[in-house]
A and B are shown apart, each in its own frame.
Chain A
């Protein structure tokens, strides 16, 4: 097991991405490629990445207190896996920063149009057909789109990530989990993303609907973030895609409610633009959540049908308005339970802009005009109720 230093592959005129790629190509499975803070070639503490660095099977890329920044004007990821790569890791030590640098004007709306590539090239880390991979201890700054995108991959651990997204652009997801993912574990995410922190999306526009495309077995734990007006966790399937077995434990809203900028939801199922080939209850199933703390507009925003799910221990505070809400089309539910939802009758109007004590909790716990089917709220605890 060798430790290979990227600075050992400097050659005259070589771009930083090529230097790192040469180091990785020289590694065998079990080796670690260390990217140190100081870039000898650039004589600086930054590595400027002009094209995706490909990581192969069994290699650990150690980001040793370093800072990697995407070059201006490029349309490429920072790291991708070689197809089928397994057992690789990208691990930060100390303050390891991956930055999108300046935005390239490629957003969801512009994806694939006017000669521009698919927006997924803007993901800082993009893994496809990967397995047994670990991404750990990385700071993401100024991303251009999702910080981490994973699809058609299994047994991937994503943990200890910090997000510092100045939302200069739209769609700055934290971790995007796409079709075909199995056994994905996401733990300890903190900071501020510029859109949904964890976006689990089985998109029929991007992937054909096949049995392989199902997303199954995602574990989210200790997600303590501010997703800037959007949702901490967003689960969405359309066109017949399936999502199953999503377990969440500790979904915590850390947005600054003094700033009067409430996030949309702790958990958002479906999409507000519900005409986009909505799911039926059997498409999204097996969602289990324990422990959510929310000052969002809606703790749960239900805009898509789903089934066989349970949410318990939900605590609201600050300017939370609705624990359960639906804002668009009719939603069908089957065997959905909510247990122990803690809320309170605020003393201020819903849309008050005055300073609200953090102890005044939203006025309406459940607004569910369009939610049909078998959804039961088993215990709703008002602020004035004795609840021990």
Chain B
């Protein structure tokens, strides 16, 4: 253990032999957290058969050329996903870094719920990344490709995201900020709006580059979206046939983006939005 502390990180192969990749990686993460080492390095390809939970305060680093393939619906999630009691009095998971040194690939979906201070950088993710009740998130220089509806999804309760220099590909929406979506439990005391998003200098390949959706209870506001190269429609605000009050979508600045079809589609009235 002293050796691991001095070295400064844990690898899955530091866990005893005879275990599956899934067990090794999960145990490595728990060992790193339990011994306050704070860092797990994945230095070889892994096949993960169950969802792996990432504890708070973890840097999960993938070395150049590593591929991690997940066969479960979710490859990685933060630790309290699905674990919190009803009414969710738990503290959020904070300070999780998923980074790559060079070019590493993750084949699977990643989700975060009730988490803060997250960084995802320099990753290639063949799957979707979703967030619910997350705040202070930075995503930079990633490629996220999803076979599903969206590459990156912000569900209710997300705020303070900086998303730049990425490439997002999906069938329907490259990047969706949809406050009507929920996946896990409500977090007591947290607001369900989506706000303070900076989404810029990304490349987005999908029918719609940026989709913004709200609900009767939750709106989307304070969004800066610019310098984005897209195909399809540049920005869509509102679900089809939606009739919400326009205050559900306000303070949205969308500039310097290109769509090969329509630039923007407004399915609902908006307030204080600028398209330039």
**Which residues of A are at the interface with B, using a C-beta cutoff of 8 A?**
7, 36-38, 40, 45, 64-65, 93-95, 137, 160, 162, 188, 190-191, 222, 224, 250, 252, 254, 258, 291, 293, 313, 315-317, 340, 342, 344, 358-359, 381, 383, 387-388
Q: A224, B198: Cβ atoms under 8 Å?
A: yes
Which stretch from B42-50, B167-175, B247-255 is at the chain A interface?
Answer: B247-255
Q: How far is B99's CA from A123's CA once the two chains are assembled, in angstroms?
A: 30
Chosen A-B contacts, 7 in total, with CB atoms closer than 8 Å, are: A37-B5, A65-B38, A160-B138, A224-B196, A317-B222, A387-B273, A388-B273
Which residues from chain B contact A388 at a C-beta distance below 8 Å? 266, 270, 273-275
Q: Which of B37, B198, B221, B271 contacts A222 (CB 8 A)?
A: B198
With A293-B222, A313-B253, A317-B221 as known contacts, state yes or no: A190 contacts B198, CB within 8 Å. Answer: no
| A interface footprint on B83-104 (CB within 8 Å = 1, 0 otherwise) | 0000000000001010100000
Identify which of B160, B164, B250 contacts A317 (C-beta below 8 A): B250
Task: Evaluate whether A224 and B272 lie within 8 angstroms (CB atoms) in the complex, with A36-B8, A291-B253 already known.
Answer: no
Q: Which residues of A contact B271 (CB under 8 A)?
A: 383, 387
- What CA separation (Å) do A383 and B270 show in the bound complex? 11
Q: Please tell me the size bucket of the interface on B.
A: 35 or more
**A38-B8, A65-B59, A95-B95 known; A293 vs B251 contact (CB < 8 Å):** yes
B8 close to A37 (CB less than 8 A) = yes
B136 close to A (CB within 8 Å): yes
Instruction: Decide: B221 and A358 in contact? CB cutoff 8 A.
Output: yes
Q: A65-B59, A94-B59, A222-B162 known; A191 and B136 CB under 8 Å?
A: yes
Judge if B39 is at the interface, Cβ distance under 8 Å: yes
A93-B59, A94-B39, A342-B251 given as contacts; is B97 within 8 A of A224 (CB)? Answer: no
Judge whether A224 and B162 touch: CB under 8 Å: yes
Q: Roughly how many angstroms separate A210 CA and B136 CA in the complex, as a whole number? A: 41
CA distance A95 to B93 in the complex (A): 14
Taking a contact as CB atoms under 8 Å apart, the answer to whether B162 and A37 are in contact is no
B95 & A188 in contact (Cβ 8 Å cutoff): no
Task: Say yes or no: A250-B196 contact (C-beta < 8 A), given A95-B38, A95-B57, A359-B250.
Answer: no
- Complex: A95 Cα to B118 Cα, angstroms: 10
Do the beta carbons of A254 and B196 come within 8 Å of each other? Answer: yes
CA distance A65 to B33 in the complex (A): 13
CA distance A275 to B191 in the complex (A): 43
Kindly supply a per-residue 1/0 record for chain B positions 7-29, scoring 1 wherever the CB is within 8 Å of any chain A CB and 0 otherwise: 01000000000000000000000
Find the B residue at minimum CB distance from A38: B5
Partner of B272 from A45, A250, A252, A381 at Cβ < 8 Å: A381
Q: Are B38 and A37 in contact (CB under 8 A)?
A: yes
Q: Which A residues are CB-close (under 8 A) to B69?
A: none
Contacts of A316 in B (CB 8 A): 251
Contact partners of B274 in chain A: CB under 8 A: 313, 340, 342, 387-388
**Looking at chain B's contact residues, is the secondary structure mostly helix, strand, loop, or mixed?**
strand
Q: Mark contacts of B206-242 with chain A using CB atoms, 8 A cut-off: 1 yes-contact digit, 0 otherwise.
A: 0000000000000101101010000000000000000
Closest residue to B60 on the A side, CB-wise? A94
Taking CB atoms, residues of chain A closer than 8 Å to B162 are 188, 190, 222, 224
Closest to B39 in A: A65
Whether B160 lies near A315 (C-beta < 8 A) is no
Inter-chain CA distance A250–B200, complex, in Å, is 10
Given contacts A38-B8, A95-B57, A250-B198, contact A315 B36 (CB under 8 A): no
Closest 10 pairs between A and B when the two form their complex, measured CB to CB? A94-B59, A315-B251, A342-B272, A36-B8, A293-B222, A38-B5, A359-B247, A65-B38, A95-B95, A291-B224
Q: How far is the CA of A160 from the CA of B36 in the complex (A)?
A: 23
Given contacts A7-B6, A383-B272, 8 further A-B pairs with CB under 8 A are A37-B8, A94-B97, A190-B136, A224-B196, A254-B159, A315-B250, A358-B221, A381-B272
Contact B6 A38, beta carbon cutoff 8 Å: yes
Q: Among the listed A38, A40, A95, A188, which residue makes an inter-chain contact with B97, where contact means beta carbons less than 8 Å apart?
A: A95
Give the residues in chain A near B266, CB-CB below 8 Å.
Answer: 388
Contact A224 B6 (CB under 8 A): no
Is A64 a contact of B8 with CB atoms below 8 Å?
yes
Q: Are B6 and A40 interface neighbours, CB within 8 A? A: yes
Within the assembled complex, what's the spacing in Å between the Cα atoms of A344 and B246? 14
Known: A38-B6, A222-B198, A252-B222. A95 touches B253 (CB 8 A): no
Q: How far is the CB of A346 from chain B (nearest CB, A)?
A: 13
**In the bound complex, what is the Cα–Cα distance between A318 and B261 (angstroms)?**
36
Could you tell me the distance in whole angstroms from the C-beta of A178 to the nearest C-beta in chain B? 26
Measured in the bound complex, the distance between the Cα atoms of B57 and A125 in whole Å is 24
| In the complex, chain A residues whose CB is within 8 Å of the CB of B273 | 387-388
Contact with A along B189-202 (1 / 0, CB 8 A): 00101001010100
Taking CB atoms, residues of chain B closer than 8 Å to A317 are: 221-222, 250-251
* Contact of A224 with B5 in the complex, beta carbons under 8 Å: no
Q: With A190-B136, A224-B196, A317-B251 in contact, do A387 and B272 touch (Cβ < 8 Å)? A: yes
Chain B min CB distance to A338 (Å): 14
- Which chain B residues lie closer than 8 Å to A340 at the CB level? 274
Q: A37-B39, A162-B136 are in contact. Are A254 and B160 (CB under 8 A)?
A: yes
Assembled-state Cα–Cα distance A38/B275 (Å):
50
Residues of A within 8 A of B160 (CB): 190, 224, 254
CB distance from A202 to the nearest CB of B (A): 29
Residues on A with C-beta less than 8 A from B191 are 258
Determine the chain B residues whose CB is within 8 A of the CB of A190 once the complex forms: 136, 138, 160, 162
The one of B6, B117, B255 that contacts A162, using a Cβ cutoff of 8 Å: B117
